[in-house]
Amino acid sequence: MKEALKKIKEEALGALSAVTGQQELEDLRVRYLGKKGEMTAILKQMGGLPAEERPVMGQLANEVRAAIEAKIAETKAAVEAMALEKKLESERIDVTMPGRKSELGHRHPMYIALDEMKDIFIGMGFEILEGPEIEESVYNFDRLNTDEGHPSRDWSDTFYFTEDSTLLLRTQTSGMQIHAMESRDLPIRIVAPGRVYRKDEVDATHSPMFHQIEGLVIDEGITMADLKGTLNTVAEKLFGKGTVTRFRPHHFPFTEPSCEVDVQCHECGGKGCRVCKGEGWIELLGAGMVHPRVLEMSGIDPEKYSGWAFGFGLERTAMRRFNITDLRLIFENDIRFLKQF
Ligand code: PHE
| Residue 102 belongs to a domain | no
pLDDT of res. 172: 98
| Whole-number pLDDT of residue 28 | 82
- pLDDT given for residue 190 in this prediction: 98
Are 200 and 135 within one domain? yes
The answer to whether the beta carbons of residues 71 and 19 sit under 8 Å apart is no
At 235 the pLDDT is 95
In a mutational test of the pocket of ligand 1, which residue from 141, 174, 222, 262 has the highest number of ligand atoms less than 8 Å from its CB?
174
Same domain? For 131 and 55 the reply is no
Structural domain including 228 reads 109-338
Q: Could you tell me the distance, in angstroms and rounded to a whole number, from the CA of residue 174 to the centre of ligand 1?
A: 6
**In angstroms, what is the span from residue 261 Cα to ligand 1's centroid?**
11
* Whole-number Å distance between alpha carbons of 238 and 218: 24
Best substitution site from 172, 256, 261 to test ligand 1's pocket, by max atoms within 8 Å of Cβ? 172
Residue closest to 107 by CA, chosen among 115, 97, 95, 96? 115
* pLDDT beneath 70, residues of the chain: none
Residue 39 lies in a domain: yes
Provide the pLDDT for residue 80: 87
Cα–Cα distances in angstroms (integers) from residue 205 to residues 56, 108, 209, 272, 312, in the given order? 110, 18, 12, 16, 14
Instruction: Please count the structural domains in the chain.
Output: 2
Question: Pick from 37, 56, 90: which residue ends a domain?
Answer: 90
Q: Which tens digits make up the pLDDT trace of 55-73?
A: 888 888 888 888 888 888 8
C-alpha 310 to ligand 1 mean position (Å): 6
Instruction: Report pLDDT for 75.
Output: 87
Phi first, then psi: give them for residue 127, nearest 5 degrees: -110, 140
**What single string gives the DSSP state of each residue in 251-300?**
EETTEEEEEEEEEE-TTTTTS--TTTTTSSEEEEEEEEEEPHHHHHHTT-
If DSSP codes are grouped into helix, strand and coil, which group holds residue 102? coil
Q: Do 185 and 39 belong together in one domain?
A: no
pLDDT tens per residue, range 22-35: 888 888 888 888 88
Question: What residues does 289 pair with on adjacent strands?
Answer: 308
CA of 253 to the centre of ligand 1 (A): 9
Query: Which atom in ligand 1 lies closest to the alpha carbon of residue 177?
Result: 9
Nearest residue to 260 (alpha-carbon basis) of 245, 248, 243: 248
Q: Are residues 11 and 65 in the same domain?
A: yes
8, 9, 15, 19 alpha-carbon torsion, rounded to 10°: 130
Residue 104 pLDDT = 87
- Residue 12 pLDDT: 82
